Amino acid sequence: MAELSNADWERYVAALCLWREARGETIEAQEWVVWTMRNRCKPGWWNPSGTLAGAVLHPYQYSSMTAPGDKQLIVFPMSKQPDGPGWVPDQAWMQCMWVVDQVLMTPEYADPSRGADSYYDDSIGPPDWAMPERSRGKKGRLNFYKVLT
């Protein structure tokens, strides 16, 4: 079995987080989620590695990846095909991989989220950090903010 390169590991971790947190959202909303990951790689965030995986896997930053009890924590983007070749990636996973690649190839100055580093889903109440002056926009059911200034 071949080892993953660091770049592939980063892509897969980011795509898994995206799939868990925003599958079913528009491509634009998914892009903004990946931008929050990228923006958490900047100095000032509690991500000493400065990597996407470091941002995503830091405890409680993306609940679907680290929060005990989060129902997404044990869900993976594969489905068993009853009459097919066995386990195959679902279509939403393929889209998430594509979105991650697109965002990673985009220059930082073209960030459409204007530095968003946090978001919350409409299914929960607004967190304390969700102050109107920090808002960067709403995409689908996701509300984006730039918490660190």
On whether residue 132 sits in a domain, the answer given is no
Cα gap 54→32, rounded to integer Å:
18
- Predicted confidence at residue 66, as pLDDT, reads 85
In a domain, 126, yes or no: no
Rounded to whole angstroms, how far apart are CA atoms 28 and 6?
A: 26
Is a pLDDT exceeding 80 seen at residue 87? no
Residue 99 inside a domain? The answer is yes
Residue 83 has pLDDT above 90, yes or no: no
Using one digit for the tens of pLDDT, what is the confidence trace for 33-80? Answer: 999 999 998 876 777 788 999 999 998 889 888 888 878 777 777 665
**Within a domain: 30:** yes
Write out the H or E segment, with its range, that includes residue 35: helix 27-39
Distance (Å, whole) CA 135 – CA 139: 12
Q: Can you give the pTM of this predicted structure?
A: 0.89
| Domain carrying residue 80 | 6-114
Number of structural domains (the chain) is 1
Structural domain contains residue 136: no
Q: What pLDDT sits at residue 109?
A: 95
